[in-house]
Structure 1
Amino acid sequence: MTSPASPSRIVFIDVDGTILEHGTVIAPSTVSAIRAARARGHLVYLCTGRSDGDIHPDVRAIGFDGAITNGGGFATRGGELVLQHTMPREDVERLIRTFEEGGIQYFLQSHEGVFASPGILSLMSGFLRQRAARRAEDLQHLGVDDDDLLDAVLREASDRYRPLAEAPMDAIAKAVFVSERSDSVDHMQAELGERFHVIPGSMPMPGGSNGEISLRGINKGAAILEILDQLGLDAADAVGIGDSWNDVEMFQVCGTSVAMAGADPQLQALADHVTTGVLDDGVHNALVALDLI
């Protein structure tokens, strides 16, 4: 005899480092767990720093009720855009000037895509090589073979990012930067001032540092509150699962927060629960522990 289903809840779940490991690898248990939670009547939303156009097809194929993207800049429900917070053009132009004056490479993100400054992929070559090596280990762990991983990773990066000249300057919500400076996050915050919110990025670069920039007040937590208001749901019934510094506000607003085992220990300390790693059934174990599946 099966136990009765728990009351319906809503889950907001990060992508990189939570669903995806090293860019493309997903534990099979993550797919089945998310689908089981939805089949049980719970809503499941992606909640990611990626743009909607940059969500990996394998993630999208899992099936979700909606998505918060660009770290809170946009949100969709059932394929319909229901939330949009873009930067005024003058703020985007200020970001570009600050990046270029500091010799910092960057991406600009809109709802549809990601636009790369000319030198960023060469600067990220070490990161991309590292990602290919780690992806090979991950696939071996899951019993999957894949040849020519480095070529695949480099080709994927080239395909994902469009030239900066194509960026829609009136539709940008977020910027990501990569620098050879170790103090670039603090430097950018000091240069830009309180109008902008600068946080450490999630790319494990071999050297230097990286970060994410949005307008202050635009974050995953604020977007979650807007979505909950639209749905008439209580934040106490919301679950947030993530691993990065852009998940802090999500942890703050959701009634229950879960950090992945790979998250920074300081971030784990902010969460109500810590689950196992991405490829060690972390999402599945979290949903089981919370009686969502």
Structure 2
Amino acid sequence: MTRIAFLDVDGTIAEHGSTIAPSTVTAIRRARANGHLVWLCTGRADGDIHPDVRAIGFDGAISNAGAYATSGDELIVEHPMPRADVAAIETYFEAHGIHYFLQTHEAVFASPGIEPMMREYVRERLAKRAAEIAARGLDGEPTTSIPRARPLAEVDRGRVAKAVFISPVADTVAHAGAELGERFHVIPGSIPLPGGSNGEIGLAGVTKGSAILEVLEHLGLDRAEAIGIGDSWNDVEMFQVVGTPVAMGNAPVELQRLAGRVTTAVLDDGVHNAFAELGLL
């Protein structure tokens, strides 16, 4: 029986950059060789997925936390925000002095204040991760999950899928949700910051889960045969719609409880162990 697995990227396939456990590559390629389908299911923009992740080989990709999905060269899910909603989000950020990224299908665009704010944090994190990667004997570039961004002035606001913010205030996720209202889906982000808060804002109802249902309908597959593996808060809706949700060992405890099934951590053969247990290998 053909099964389909949807895999988050940061914290699931790669350790918030391009460091990938060799067993993850082996597992994905073997599962596909065995006739199963493996899809990316990431919060990143399609154009911001690291080439080393792409090189593993996948049957399709859900990106921007469900706003877009592609199968080969075909765009099968496309839900950009209306311009008025983008304007409402940017107005909120500017009113509260919050730095942010806007994501389209093709790229990520950064507000002017992000680069200087993040420079020291990036330097410290890269040094720490390089030492950890070397200690494990793994290959890969020690990077963070901060997107490779273009200037905000270049963005087409008719193509924006979601926003990612970085705030010095700890409660911005809750505050943004309350102030922006029910039209928006505001959740904690996955950029590991030393302080403050990080979050994602998309349209309510546009999630990884909604995109998975569209993909399954397009492919003529049953959700009972779908597997979803992830570690972040934008994976909640994925867990809710697939037949077999799996949380990574490095996921927050609350997400592990929500999934019910837990594998090992991202660099401890998490994807491989999940695939093996589920019979894909």
Cα deviation, residue 146, structure 1: 8.0
- The alignment's TM-score, normalised by the length of structure 1, stands at 0.92
Structure 1: tracts of 5 or more residues without a match: 1-6
Secondary structure, aligned partner of 1:96: helix
Q: Deviations over 1:238-270 (max 9, x none)?
A: 000000000000000000011001100000001
Q: Look up the match of 1:177.
A: 165
Q: Which letter maps to 1:128?
A: V
Q: Look up the match of 2:24.
A: 30
Distance in 2 between residues matched to 1:109 and 1:275, nearest whole Å: 30
Q: Look up the match of 1:69.
A: 63
Equivalent positions of 1:1-293 (< 5 A) are 7-144=1-138, 153=143, 160-293=148-281
Cα deviation, residue 290, structure 1: 0.5
Cα deviation, residue 139, structure 1: 2.1
Secondary structure, aligned partner of 1:258: strand
- The alignment's TM-score, normalised by the length of structure 2, stands at 0.96
Cα deviation, residue 127, structure 1: 3.5
Task: State percent identity of aligned pairs.
Answer: 63
Distance in 1 between residues matched to 2:94 and 2:215, nearest whole Å: 36
Q: What value does the CA root-mean-square deviation take over the aligned residues?
A: 1.7
Structure 2: tracts of 5 or more residues without a match: none
Q: Which letter maps to 2:8?
A: D
Cα deviation, residue 70, structure 1: 0.1
- How many residues in Structure 1 have an aligned counterpart in Structure 2? 281
Asked if structure 2 preserves the Cα contact closer than 8 Å seen for 1:185 and 1:199, the reply is yes
Cα deviation, residue 145, structure 1: 7.2
Asked if structure 2 preserves the Cα contact closer than 8 Å seen for 1:23 and 1:131, the reply is no
Most deviating of 126-135 and 93-102: 126-135
